[in-house]
Amino acid sequence: MRQWWVGRAGWSMRTWLGTVGALAVATLLLLALAYQFPLRAGLSTDGLGDQPFLGTTEALDSSATELGLLYPDEMDATGRRFRWTRGRALLAFPALGGGQGYRLTVTTEGWPADVLRRDLAQPLVHVLANGVPVGVFTPTSAIADYSLDLPADPQSTLTVDLRLADSPALTPPLTQTTAFNGTTLYPNDNRPLGLRLYGVALESAGGGFTMPDLATLAQALLAVVLVCLGVGPQRRRLGGWLAAGGLLGVGLALLVGLNRLWIAPILGLLLPLVGLLLLWRWRGPLLRWLADWQRRAVSSGAFSLGLAGAALLLLLLTAGPALVRAFDPGAIIVASLLGSLLLLVLLRWDDLNRTLDRLNRRLR
């Protein structure tokens, strides 16, 4: 393998690994340094970019309240977008780093003044950070900001839990949160409603060392290395690909330093894209390997037996549980389709191979 790498382009494996390793170490150091910058970021619950941090559903059952899911976004009379909460709202901010305290600001509006039940007073909002109670505030029927200090926590992910209750003494259990139904303007609105949540903001509360999120470091390092794998040992293309890997590392470090609220969602999109680019870059060797594997598989009788066994196992796993339940007709249909597909593959194996050969030649 090493001779193939070296002979193909005259670039030694040791030098290539050393170059990529130095770039990876530099990326890790930049990310660790970027985590030391103070965080100041805001999130608007306007339905455009809040999905990575909260869950939404239109369901009216109690499980949606217990999970802290919000309703789809709406627009108020001034044209400003918001989301209704239920008796509980749960927001998660991953990859912030550990050991740092924050000042949380919640922009919200309490129950409207025209609630149908006049005996209902404004609820008390209990705020929990990673399961620890940090404060209580009472909203009003007007939009306002409410700020609380969150203590430092070793966890990298910050989970903010807003629970509505009638009593200030205890944090309400998930099954005992409070909500209202219907207003004078919308008397038939039977949804259990809590707060109008317009947004939240986070700001680092003090100095001290911020422990970088290890998952973020690993994913960023993987993205940089995958980009550098596009080089291989090819000296003539070394500059461009390594420059791309270096710029990617610097860009991720800048994102962490400026607004690391978005580093986890962006890495979740970036890694599949880099993987697809890498597959396209090495499509030639991969297709040759697949063609060689295909030829060896065709000439081996054991492969046909293995394919039949795998298909039979898939058939049993898919339809077995339902067949046990009094021969479910739906499962019988699935089993019949899978069995027919298995027979088609085994009987028309040569035609399938010819089709794969033609597809392979076109992709090359």
Report pLDDT digits (tens) over 148-205. 999 998 999 999 999 999 888 778 888 888 888 877 777 788 889 999 999 999 999 8
Band (pLDDT 50/70/90 cuts) for residue 32 is very high
Domain segments of the chain: what residues? Answer: 2-35+230-281, 40-204, 285-363
Band (pLDDT 50/70/90 cuts) for residue 252 is very high
**Amino acid 20: pLDDT:** 80
Q: What is the pTM of this model?
A: 0.74
Band (pLDDT 50/70/90 cuts) for residue 289 is confident
Which range, of 122-131, 164-173, 275-284, 305-314, averages the lowest pLDDT?
Answer: 305-314
**Amino acid 5: pLDDT:** 47
The Cα 146–Cα 107 span in angstroms is 6
* Topology of domain 40-204, CATH: Jelly Rolls (2.60.120)
**Amino acid 216: pLDDT:** 93
pLDDT > 90? residue 48:
no
189 contacts 182 by C-beta, under 8 angstroms:
yes
Q: Which residue has the tokens 């939404």?
A: 56
pLDDT > 50? residue 313:
yes
Q: Amino acid identity of 129?
A: A
The Cα 72–Cα 76 span in angstroms is 13
Query: Minimal CA–CA distance to 127: which of 93, 152, 91, 94?
Result: 91
pLDDT (tens digit per residue) in 327-345: 555 555 666 666 666 666 6
Calculate the alpha carbon distances from 42 to 27, 70, 80, 260, 289 in Å.
26, 18, 16, 11, 49
The Cα 113–Cα 63 span in angstroms is 28
* Mean pLDDT within 312-322: 66
pLDDT > 70? residue 123:
yes
pLDDT (tens digit per residue) in 72-100: 999 988 889 999 999 999 999 999 999 88
Residues 6+ apart with CB under 8 A from 348: none
